[in-house]
Amino acid sequence: MGRGLIFSVVSCCAMLILACSTSSEPRWNGKNYLAHVKLDSSMLLVTEVAQNLEVPWDLVPGPDGWLYFTEQKGTINRVDIETGEIQNLAILDDLFYRKSSGLFSMALHPNFDIHPLVYIHYAVAEKDSNFLDLISSKVVQYALEGDSLINPKVILKNIPGNTYHNGSRMLIFEDKLWIGTGDAGDTRTVQEIGTLNGKVLRIHLDGSIPDDNPYPNNPVWSTGHRNIQGITVGNGKLYASEHGPNNDDEVNLIQKGSNYGWPDVHGFIDLENETAYSKDSVTQEPLMAWTPTIATAGLEYYNHDQIPEWKNSLLLTTLKGRSFRVLSLNEEGDEISKEHLFFQKFFGRLRDVAVGKEGEVYLATSNMDWHQGHQPWLYDSLPKSNGDRILKIQIANGGIQRQLATLEKPLLLQEEFVPISLSPEIAKSNTSDKDLDNGAKLYGTHCAACHAPDGKGNVGQIPPLVDSEWVSGNVARLIDVTLGGLNQPIEVNGVQYQGEMPAYKNLGDNEIRDILNYIRTEFGKTKGNIVAADIVHQRKGLK
């Protein structure tokens, strides 16, 4: 073999080795730049993966180069991390979508390359004889075939649900499916092992119950949770984040058979009534709690070399707090030693966080959800012009930093050390005299001909609005009937009625708001307090 040929072969091998050694180095195509972040010794690049989404709830990086995600409205999707191409894999046709109900969390089979199975958790509902929604949720396993999800198989059902406090977050750990649920508005049963609300649940991937669960033939792993929003594993330990009421959002270390105190204990055991309760009940305290609440959301453990400053930390997104937080853990993983704040108000409400196989981090915004419309006093602004988005955070190595140096309008962000001021989530009256006057006029135009100007209707023919549970009771039912009409038999104040109520979905959200607030105040002897956002989200859920 000639000397030149030997040199060529050696050179080619060297180039091949170099290419292989650098193939996993972080790269950037120069597109979708949002900002870069200076840490102690690292520089991070923040780019946009996807936009114009509607409440992406859960992000799960797949082993195939796709980032899988759910949207609350009922779509299961994936986005190509490199190209930004989005594929819709399924649209749920039995979904119940209102306010905080809909499509929630997702998990991929741990051997997804061999067993391409996707697990999702979502809300469903049926109408009872009084036209009230009987809401529950279920966990369904799908198989991925090509770019479609097929063969749905229910593996857990009849989880109590509501239009609020459904949780949820799921993960697969040690070949078990872990599911964090909310109390579904029923605080009486969250510490009882006979119900599935307000719990961490643990089941086999086929839905059967592991023999080593704390209670025989029972999926319950822990109790006393208010509304779990994040769940993750690190250091061999299970962690969860959950919403408090007006105080004490929590991050908890989840232990087998433990009780986390809700509704008797909020956050740490530091009040007289909590101390008295805990004398007779072993209650686990959180690792950290926040008052005023920040709406703790997605939670992920980070221990990758790509961002060394974040190793052995919990990554936390917050909704009301509009921030991304890095919670440094001690070596044992049973204490939070420090909290680091990033992106306050910059990207708005952040719903979820996920870590990719190369150590990159993904965030999902939640600026298109119901919250701003119902509690506008909590927000001065939210970035909504591009809908909800998925963001990517990666290390900016030397090559990327040289690219950043050429940008015309770079935006450098840093860790923040003062939390933004947050208002308590205290319900305020939303019904003005002007709105009630407008409601009275609209009632006269659209409703009085049947229900009578005094709201007493016509006994046996047209049901009354005065002193009617249909008016003063469940608001969601009242809005649904107004938007969609009603032609089934109903009972009002002990009298049967069989007529047809026309649909008024042609009226605007503010018009329906004013009519309903007027009849609730005038005939129902209760507060109005229906806001236009209530109508918006009920309208979205109507089929």
pLDDT digits (tens, 9 = 90+) for 82-91: 999 999 999 9
- Please identify which residue in the block is written with the tokens 């955070």: 393
Whole-Å CA distances, 369 to 53, 351, 402: 11, 10, 38
What three-state secondary structure class fits 52?
Answer: strand
What three-state secondary structure class fits 427?
Answer: coil
Contact 26, 395 (CB under 8 A): yes
Contact 112, 62 (CB under 8 A): yes
Distance CA 378, CA 256 (A): 37
- According to the model, what pLDDT value does residue 234 have? 96
Omega before 245 within 30 of 0, i.e. cis: no
Closest alpha carbon to 57 in 359, 387, 369, 373 = 369
State the DSSP H helix or E strand holding residue 150, giving kind and residue range, or none if neither. strand 148-160
DSSP states of 291-354 as a string?
SS---EEEEEEE--SSSGGGTTEEEEEETTTTEEEEEEE-TTSSSEEEEEEE-TTTS--EEEEE
Question: Which CATH architecture fits 433-541?
Answer: Orthogonal Bundle (1.10)
DSSP states of 214-238 as a string?
SSTT--EEEB--SBEEEEEEETTEE
Strand partners, 251: 241, 288
Listed by start position, the domains of the chain span: 27-414, 433-541
Token readout for 31 is 């597109």
Distance CA 265, CA 277 (A): 8
- According to the model, what pLDDT value does residue 14 have? 38
Positions marked active-site = 165
Distance CA 76, CA 66 (A): 13
What three-state secondary structure class fits 242?
Answer: strand
Closest alpha carbon to 206 in 172, 240, 231 = 172
Strand partners, 318: 296, 323
pTM for this prediction: 0.91
Q: Would you call 280 exposed, middle or buried from its count of C-beta atoms within 10 A (0-12, 13-18, 19+)? A: exposed
State the DSSP H helix or E strand holding residue 374, giving kind and residue range, or none if neither. helix 371-374
Token readout for 119 is 């697990």
Contact 299, 230 (CB under 8 A): yes
Neighbours of 459 (CB within 10 A): 12
- According to the model, what pLDDT value does residue 427 have? 61
- Please identify which residue in the block is written with the tokens 């770079």: 410
Distance CA 258, CA 196 (A): 15
Distance CA 108, CA 119 (A): 6
Q: Could you tell me which CATH number the domain at 27-414 has?
A: 2.120.10.30
Point out the residues of the chain with pLDDT beneath 70. 1-24, 426-430, 543
| 194 Cβ neighbours under 8 A, 6+ residues apart | none
